[in-house]
Amino acid sequence: MNVPLTPLDFCRRAAHLYPNKVGIVDGQKRFTYRQFSQRMHRFANGLKSLGIGRGDVVSFLSYNSHQLLEAYYGVVQIQAILNPINIRMAAAEIEYILNHAQSKALCFHSDFRPLIQALQTKIPGTRHFVEIEPAGPLSKDYHDYEEIVSQSPADVATESLTDENLAAELFYTSGTTGHPKGVILSHRTLYLHALNVIASLNFTDEDNLLHVVPLFHVNGWGTPHTLTAVGGRYVMLRKIALPDILRLIQEEHITRIFAVPAVFIALLAYPRREAYDLSSLKRAFIGGAPSSLALITRIEEAFGCQAIVGYGLTETSPVVSSGCLKDHMQSWDVSQRRAYQVRAGTEIIGTQIRVVNRQGEDVAPNDEEVGEIAIRSNVVMTNYYKDPEATQKAIRDGWFYSGDLATINQEGSLRIVDRSKDIIISGGENISSAEVENALYSHPAVFECAVIGVPDEKWGEVPVAMVVCKPDTQTTEAELIQHVRSQLARFKCPKTIYFKEVLPKGGTGKILKRELREPFWADKEQKVN
C-alpha cells in the first residue's frame, strides 16, 4: 500500500483521538481539536467558494493566532499553497512577495488594514481580501474571516490528495542583497519533517507549547505540524511582551518554549521574573542565531529546565540538528554537558549532514577545520519559486549547500562558526563574528551584542561591536576589548565598541546585522572586501 504523505493527516488524527481536548489557546479563546478541525474545514470550503483551488497561493499577514494555525491546514486542504508573510517586512517587500507569488487571496489582521489599502492597487493579481478580527465596518470588497468560517460547511473540502509532492507552503527568505527568495515545501516534505522532529525531540501529547516563534517564520519551526500530530496544546503569543510570556508559562503550564537568543536574554533580565512559577518548563529550545555558553547556563539556572540549541533553515523545513544529549553524555558534569548543548548538535533522524571544504571534501572531525554545512534529506525544499538558477546553485549533486560555516567533532556535533556572509576577512584572516560575540557575552555587563565587519584601508575590513549593557551596569570600551583579548587572538578583537540603547531586530527577535552594516558601507561600491 502506498498512501500519499500529507500533514493533513495530523489534523485528522488529532480530531479523532483528542476531540474534546483543548488544543489551541489564543487569548480568551479556547478550541478543542474537534472544533479546530471543523473550523479548518469551514475555512477551506469558504476559500473554495471564492474560487481558490489547487495551486493557488493564499497569503497571510497576521500575528500568531488560531486563524493562521487554521490556515496551515485549511489552505492546504484544498491543495492551495499557504504563504505566511513576515509582518515586520517593509511595504515594498510585502508588495514584491504578493506579486511574485501571484497571491490570489490575502488574509490579514485588521491592524494591517492601512498597509493593505495602500498596497491594493499595486497587487493586481490579488483578487480576494479577507480581514481577521475587523475593528470597524469592512470595505465593500473585503471579506470577514469569521463570516467565511461561520457560513461555510464543515465537510471535507476536497478529494483525497493523490500527489504528495504537491506544493503546500511558500516561505520567503530575506537575503543580504536583492529580493527575498521563495521556498517551496511539499506535503511530503512537511510530513516527514514533523516525524523527524517528533522522534528526535520527543514531542508527546503532554506538551504545552508557548508559540513565541512567529508562525510566519520558517514554517513556525515546524510546530504547526509536530504538535498537532501528537495532540499537544498550542498557546498563542501574538506579540512579544515579557510579562505575557512569563504569565502564560505559569497559567498554561507550558512545558516547551522555542525562541531566538534575544528573547531569552530579555526574559533573564526582566526584573520581576522570579515572581512567576516557571516550574512546568522542561525544555527551552534556542535557534535562529548562534547562542553562547553563558546564555545556556543562565537559562538552566534561572528556569530550572534543560536548554539546547538547534539548527536549521527555511530551505530545510527547518530543523536538521539539535544539541540533544547522547546516552553516554548523561554522566558528564554540568559544564561539559552545557558545552555540548550550546552547539548546533548532531543530525536529527531523517537527515544527513556533512561539513565540506571548498574542494567538496569532508573536513576532519577535529572541531578545528572549517567548512560549509551540506544537507541531504527529504525535508529539503523542492525548489526556489520561479528561480531555477538559485535552486541549481543551492542544490548540487544531491546535497543542499547551506552557506553556513561550521566545524564538526568526533561525536558528529556541529559548531556553527558563522554564516558565510558574516565572516569578517581582515588582512586575509577569517574572523567569526559569532566567536567574538560569545566572548563579549561572557562579560557580566553585556546584555546584547552584535559584531560586524567595517571597511578599513589597511586590513580591508575590521571587526567592530555594537553593545547594549544590562540595566544598572557600566563598562568601558577599553574594558570590553581587554576582556575579549583575554580569550581570543588580538586580530579578532573589536577595534571599536559602539554602545547602543537597542539593536535592530526582525520579526523573530533576530538582530539585523544588515542594518548595522549599512552606514559603514553606504558609500562603497561593494559590501565586502
pLDDT in tens, 441-451: 999 999 999 99
> Interior CA angle at 229 toward 198 and 6, to 5°?
100
Mean pLDDT throughout 329-349?
96
Mean pLDDT throughout 202-212?
97
Mean pLDDT throughout 100-117?
97
Q: For residue 528, what pLDDT is reported?
A: 39
Cis peptide before 504 (omega within 30 of 0): no
Percent of the chain with pLDDT over 90: 79
Which strand (E) or helix (H) includes residue 478? helix 477-485
Judged against a pLDDT cut of 90, whether residue 63 lies above it is answered with: yes
Q: For residue 176, what pLDDT is reported?
A: 44
Q: For residue 514, what pLDDT is reported?
A: 82
- Please state which of the ranges 78-87, 211-220, 330-339, 517-526 shows the lowest mean pLDDT: 517-526
Q: For residue 299, what pLDDT is reported?
A: 97
Distance CA 47, CA 149 (A): 9
Q: For residue 524, what pLDDT is reported?
A: 56
The four Cα atoms 461, 463, 465, 466 give a dihedral, to 10 degrees, of 20
Q: For residue 278, what pLDDT is reported?
A: 97
> Where does the chain hold its CATH 3.30.300.30 domain(s)?
423-521
Q: For residue 394, what pLDDT is reported?
A: 95
pLDDT in tens, 167-189: 999 999 865 446 789 999 999 99
Distance CA 43, CA 198 (A): 27
Q: For residue 459, what pLDDT is reported?
A: 77
Q: For residue 158, what pLDDT is reported?
A: 80
The four Cα atoms 98, 114, 514, 265 give a dihedral, to 10 degrees, of -110
Judged against a pLDDT cut of 70, whether residue 430 lies above it is answered with: no
Judged against a pLDDT cut of 60, whether residue 71 lies above it is answered with: yes
Q: What are the cell numbers at 29?
A: 479563546
The pTM score is: 0.86
> Where does the chain hold its CATH 3.40.50.12780 domain(s)?
240-419
**pLDDT higher at 427 or 234:** 234
Could you report how far apart the first and last alpha carbons of the chain are, in Å? 57
Q: For residue 28, what pLDDT is reported?
A: 97
Q: For residue 427, what pLDDT is reported?
A: 66
> Where does the chain hold its CATH 3.40.50.980 domain(s)?
8-188
Assigned CATH class of 8-188: alpha beta
Distance CA 357, CA 408 (A): 12
Judged against a pLDDT cut of 50, whether residue 146 lies above it is answered with: yes
- The amino acid at residue 323 is G
Distance CA 199, CA 2 (A): 22
CATH superfamily for domain 240-419? ANL, N-terminal domain (3.40.50.12780)
Q: For residue 173, what pLDDT is reported?
A: 85
Judged against a pLDDT cut of 80, whether residue 94 lies above it is answered with: yes
CATH of domain 423-521: 3.30.300.30
- Please state which of the ranges 442-446, 471-475, 520-524 shows the lowest mean pLDDT: 520-524
Q: For residue 168, what pLDDT is reported?
A: 98
Mean pLDDT throughout 267-277?
95
Judged against a pLDDT cut of 70, whether residue 257 lies above it is answered with: yes
Mean pLDDT throughout 405-428?
84
> Interior CA angle at 444 toward 442 and 446, to 5°?
80
In order, the DSSP letters of 411-470 are T--EEEEEEGGG-EEETTEEE-HHHHHHHHHTSTTEEEEEEEEEEETTTEEEEEEEEEEP
